[in-house]
Amino acid sequence: MTDSVARPLRTAVTRKDVARYAGVSAAVVSYVVNGGPKNVSPATEARVQEAVRVLGYRPNAAARALKLGSSHLLGLVVPDTRNPFFIELAQAVEEEVSAMGYAVLMTNSSGSPARERTHIRNLAGRQVDGVFLASNLFEPDLAELQAANIPTVLLATTMKAEGFSTVGTDLRAGAKAAVEHLIGHGHTSIALAMGDNVVGAMDGRELGWLDALSHAGLGEGPIVRSPFTRAGGYAAGQRLIAAAQRPTAVFASSDMQAIGILRALNEAGVAVPDEMAMVSFDGSIDAEYCWPPLSSVKQPVRAMAQAAVSALVGELRTAEPQHLVIPSELVLRSSCGCP
Amino acid sequence: MTDSVARPLRTAVTRKDVARYAGVSAAVVSYVVNGGPKNVSPATEARVQEAVRVLGYRPNAAARALKLGSSHLLGLVVPDTRNPFFIELAQAVEEEVSAMGYAVLMTNSSGSPARERTHIRNLAGRQVDGVFLASNLFEPDLAELQAANIPTVLLATTMKAEGFSTVGTDLRAGAKAAVEHLIGHGHTSIALAMGDNVVGAMDGRELGWLDALSHAGLGEGPIVRSPFTRAGGYAAGQRLIAAAQRPTAVFASSDMQAIGILRALNEAGVAVPDEMAMVSFDGSIDAEYCWPPLSSVKQPVRAMAQAAVSALVGELRTAEPQHLVIPSELVLRSSCGCP
């Protein structure tokens, strides 16, 4: 820390240098660089841009942020970059905002609520224009963002946090559709593979699994809880195989866990779908490229990103927080028993 | 852009508020918040920290960056977050620097040299303390970073760019070891699956493949070039299957392509390793969780991250640029024919 505190400011090409090269006033350079507040003729603007390019002038972002009250920087907190769903969501958010001239500061909480709080504090301190928060927690700590008065959209959630817009999909409806599909294939003993980090309220995917079973008059299959990782899924798969009354199907609450379960089944020579049918949740690229390919409930990644960007910095940015719930879609491949 | 330019500065708790609450001078608050330049007694520091917490004071990061000439922010440019190798490298870099009190601005070029240049320009404009650049290109455009005088480490490369530290692994040696292993299993017709974006110089993995074949007196197997994606690998796999003289083994230059090749082989019922043996490159988690599991040359992700962090902001940050080449390791699973 001491090291960089002691480092002096870099000397660099200034606005005055650009003004002299372009033959305009420093104020005009500022109008061009900041897009206002006054207009500049196209010919003058071209001359200034040429000077900027030739001299390698870079407006000081920190100074501009102070002056304009905006950094054109958005924060994105994701809970776990090992999860392909969050990577795909981050890619979609990035593509949407970069088209609007924003850069994204992406941070990874790696499954740690403490790290999530640190990232939120850092982003608040950096005066980003807004934050997309995909939390590790069902009830994230929003105090820092509220105190800093930073516009925030909660991503990949359907919780109704006072004063915050949310964008998510209906986990319960998606899970119910997945389990009903397995029931349609004739299964009566359907297990659930769930994460082990659910505290307090029941996960929507667990509720959807229960909904489908009870509507069909079926008893609850076994529930296997393990970490939300590939290794967690692998352990869950081994437990399913060893179960006294082995189920004939399993609904996995994430592709990541499903990939681990598949590995355990493949290793043990348990045929999928004949001896164990599977449907997963997320619909990430991993579901398409594993073997056999996984039928999976596809989260509406692109639509969620578009809605979140619109709510944070686009058309939906209104005084009233939005609560957007976008439907998921069951994508059928071969792991469920479909041809 | 106009929207956020017009937004006023946020009003917030100031350093003076904290000073009044803690019963100290504003200068003392500054010493605590900035870690200097003067020392503060532990009791006073605790009182200031308490005031910071209670009032929700957040030092203005932009103002601090201007004053200190440091943002404690590092940029990380990765060429493609769809590639699990770069995700794992980014995670390792993040873990290493967060232990040193830095935050990481991660940006994704999505395989586009134009987007890479934009990210570099943005990072230079934001006056980050340093940049880790994992480029899309064999010869990235370093002019912006040079002009802005921002310390930069080139990551995942062994090129010797004048004035820049580099950290990478020896692709050629790693590939040679992989192909020699396939030769050891008795294969004499070994294909190469390679990306199609190699311009100019030959990729080290292609050279390593050639080295191993020529040392063993074997002719060149077919080369299949396709995009460096899972879908590219899938297309490459279909072409390998359809080849007039089908090879009995393939060396894939990335796990991502290997995953796509495996899908094509599994779909066509070509048994791995009996009808087609495979060794891949990267050693990402995808190689462990596909079916069958891939033997793969593991890139030294953790050691590369540690070396790069050390070169950018740690002990190796010296006047002289470092060129660090860290050996890879062939991790054997079942796709090569090993038990």
Interval B216-226 mean pLDDT: 94
Point out the least confidently predicted range of A307-311, B87-91, B197-201, B316-320. Answer: B197-201
Please say if the pLDDT value at position A5 is more than 50: no
B103 touches chain A (CB under 8 A): yes
Please say if the pLDDT value at position A257 is more than 90: yes
Please say if the pLDDT value at position A4 is more than 70: no
Strand boundaries in B127-209, DSSP class E:
130-133, 152-155, 165-168, 190-195
Residue B160: the pLDDT is: 78
Please say if the pLDDT value at position B11 is more than 60: no
First-to-last CA distance in chain A?
60
Do residues A93 and A104 make contact, with C-beta atoms less than 8 angstroms apart?
A: yes
Q: What mean pLDDT is reported for chain A?
A: 86
For B97-140, what is each residue's pLDDT tens digit?
A: 988 878 788 888 887 887 888 788 777 776 688 999 998 777 78
Do residues A188 and A196 make contact, with C-beta atoms less than 8 angstroms apart?
A: no
For B24-64, what is each residue's pLDDT tens digit?
A: 988 888 888 766 667 888 888 888 888 877 776 766 555 55
Could you report the predicted ipTM of this complex, rounded to two decimals? 0.79
d(CA B216, CA B187): 11
Interval A47-59 mean pLDDT: 75
* Residue B66 confidence class, pLDDT cut points 50, 70, 90: very low
Please say if the pLDDT value at position B65 is more than 60: no
Domains B73-169+301-328 and B171-298 share a fold: yes
d(CA A129, CA B6): 12
**Which of A 156-215 lie inside 8 A of B, CB atoms?**
none
Please say if the pLDDT value at position A268 is more than 60: yes
Look at domain A171-298 and name its CATH class: alpha beta
For B307-320, what is each residue's pLDDT tens digit?
A: 999 999 987 777 68
**Which of A 285-314 lie inside 8 A of B, CB atoms?**
285-286, 288-293, 313
Residue B56: the pLDDT is: 67
Q: In what order do the strands lie in the sheet containing B277-282?
A: B223-226, B190-195, B249-252, B277-282, B295-298, B329-331
Point out the least confidently predicted range of A34-43, A193-202, B63-72, B186-195. Answer: B63-72
Point out the least confidently predicted range of A45-59, A195-209, B316-330. Answer: A45-59
Interval B207-236 mean pLDDT: 95
* Residue A9 confidence class, pLDDT cut points 50, 70, 90: very low
Interval A122-149 mean pLDDT: 81
A8 touches chain B (CB under 8 A): yes
Q: What mean pLDDT is reported for chain B?
A: 86
For A315-324, what is each residue's pLDDT tens digit?
A: 777 768 889 9
Distance from CA of B276 to the nearest CA of A (A): 16
Closest Cβ–Cβ partner in A94, A148, A313 for B108: A94
Interval B284-293 mean pLDDT: 97
Closest Cβ–Cβ partner in A60, A72, A259 for B127: A60
Q: Read off the tokens for B219.
A: 């002719």
d(CA B39, CA B55): 23
d(CA B290, CA B295): 11
Residue-range domain boundaries for chain B: 2-59, 73-169+301-328, 171-298
| Long-range contacts of the stretch A8-15 (C-beta < 8 A, 24+) | A8/B69, A9/B66, A9/B69, A10/B69, A10/B127, A10/B148, A10/B149, A10/B150, A12/A57, A12/A58, A12/A60, A12/B148, A12/B149, A13/A55, A13/A56, A13/A57, A13/A58, A14/A57, A15/A57, A15/A59
B318 touches chain A (CB under 8 A): no
Q: Which residue has the tokens 């292993």?
A: B181
Q: Which residue has the higher pLDDT, A168 or A43?
A: A168
Chain B nearest-CA residue for A256: B289
Distance from CA of A108 to the nearest CA of B (A): 8
B15 touches chain A (CB under 8 A): no
Residue B12: the pLDDT is: 58
Q: Count contacts between A and B (CB, < 8 Å).
A: 192
A141 touches chain B (CB under 8 A): no
d(CA A335, CA A331): 11
What are the helix and strand counts (H, E) for chain B?
Answer: 14, 12
Q: What is the CATH number of domain B2-59?
A: 1.10.260.40
First-to-last CA distance in chain B?
60
For B82-101, what is each residue's pLDDT tens digit?
A: 999 999 999 999 989 988 87
Look at the domain B73-169+301-328 and name its fold: Rossmann fold (3.40.50)
Q: Which residue has the tokens 């880790």?
A: B132
Give the type of residue at B310.
Answer: S
User: pLDDT exceeding 70 applies to what percent of chain B?
Assistant: 87
Range among A7-21, A277-291, B29-43 rated most confident: A277-291
